[in-house]
Structure 1
């Protein structure tokens, strides 16, 4: 088992043991896809990293919005361009199927390494996955043919946001959502964030250049959920975010949030500037 400070957090969140095995390396991932334990490039507090990839670089991990009714999802967070996050999978089964598809396309066949990974990960029917790869390569819309994706397909499978049934912010929900308080500023593309910010009822963290003032106002008024959304929005230097996160975790009295703060603060984010 490789060390990661997030094992305790993942258990508190009730995430699958197989997800913990991914993060620790007990479930071996294709080497070109995952750096384990994750390399540190800095990341926002709501990210529960499973692994990183030096190509980009980027993180794959759970996205946990404390105090929000939204479903915890799995995202890809690009380091360059402000750590923006986009929904990659709705659950671990989908994520591991995506990994298998990427591996299949890279190897151009159902290799022995892929079979070993699929057996460990529980990915079924590699022949069907091979057919999908032949039809659409590693473009994720091809996975809509798979039963794991038919009911709750992730945003990464769609070009048209109207076809998406989840609650991750999109160009559509940015314009038509009646309640944007449960969206964080680093979610989705910059275009989606700009659409939200242009609305008169947009939360203050979408309009702020400097988040500390928004965060402090949320704390002053007891809007701790808003403080968390502000903390996961652009406009922070990492040292400043660390002070704010500590204050929020202490004020909340929430054991899980305090564990996330402990795990996040155990990383030396400070040398990476901010987000």
Structure 2
């Protein structure tokens, strides 16, 4: 996925994240695919690397419309392409990754130490202590200074103490808050709760997604078209067409760059849609 490299720079990713995403900095776990293999993915995901065991992406979750803050996620191909927030800053993502590597190796191997030094991560001894106590459970990361503020949703067993805007079961459901969500970032409990709400957005109901997308585009309601596009019920063959139409209505060269990168991939090679 090296054709994403220019996009990575344009959206402001750090050199360390770009190095990981392009494979210039190799992750010690030999099974990790850098750059990410294309198993198909929704447009809100900008993939960095992938894990072939279960076909799991790590990448940036970015809504190009609406007022949501981009974050880093794992996206699970075999769980209907659903995403979970794992970090809210590049510094958090690097430590999340190193914690997993230490947990897998059950030690700080020379390769992991060199990896951390290349990434500029100096608190590896503290990460190791956390790994010994908590394994790779994200809640352990709350003991790291980079997680003292703006910790990701994955760290919380009680999401009522979470300060971000990734959808969760404790979020206040209003017409505005629900319109800034899509099904690919919800678990079943949250989705069913939204579906039962009187102000449930149309893309959570059983409308044909291509027709609903066209309905919003005809009315120039681009944000609602975007959240429809990132909800379950699409064939990849139709997503190509929808993205091209959305790009023609949105004068943002970086968005156009994303659309071009997404459309350059054989999205339907493994699955027909999401």
Contact 2:174/2:199 (8 A) holds in 1: no
> 1:177: how far off?
7.2
1:202 and 2:200 correspond: yes
Question: Between Structure 1 and Structure 2, how many residues are aligned?
Answer: 273
Unmatched tracts of structure 1, length 5 or more: none
Structure 1 range deviating more: 26-35 or 37-46: 26-35
- Give the structure 2 partner of residue 71 of structure 1: 69
Whole-angstrom distance in 2 between the partners of 1:27 and 1:177? 43
SS of match in other structure, 1:180: helix
- Please name the residue that 1:50 is paired with: 48
Cα distance, 1:7 vs. partner?
A: 1.2
The 3 A distance-change label for structure 1 pair 224 and 63 is same
Q: Look up the match of 1:85.
A: 83
- What corresponds to 1:186 in structure 2? 184
Contact 2:26 2:34 in 1 (8 A): no
- Residue 239 of structure 1 aligns to a residue whose secondary structure is helix
Partner of 2:273: 274
Q: Residues of 1 paired with 2:185 and 2:121: CA distance?
A: 29
Distance 1:12 1:255, change over 3 A: same
Cross-structure match for 2:102: 104
**Matched position secondary structure for 1:173:** coil
How many Å separate the matches in 2 of 1:60 and 1:161? 22
Deviation, structure 1 residue 60: 0.3
Q: RMSD of the alignment, in Å?
A: 1.5
> Per-residue deviation at 1:39?
1.0
C-alpha distance in 2, partners of 1:87/1:225?
A: 21
Alpha-carbon shift at residue 209 of structure 1 (Å): 4.7
Shift of 1:36: 1.0
Secondary structure (helix, strand or coil) at the match of 1:88 reads strand
Structure 2 counterpart SS, 1:253: coil
Give the TM-score of the pair, scaled to structure 2. 0.95
Task: Tell me how far apart the structure 1 counterparts of residues 220 and 32 of structure 2 sit (CA, whole Å).
Answer: 40
Relative distance call for 1:88 and 1:32 in structure 2 (3 A) is farther
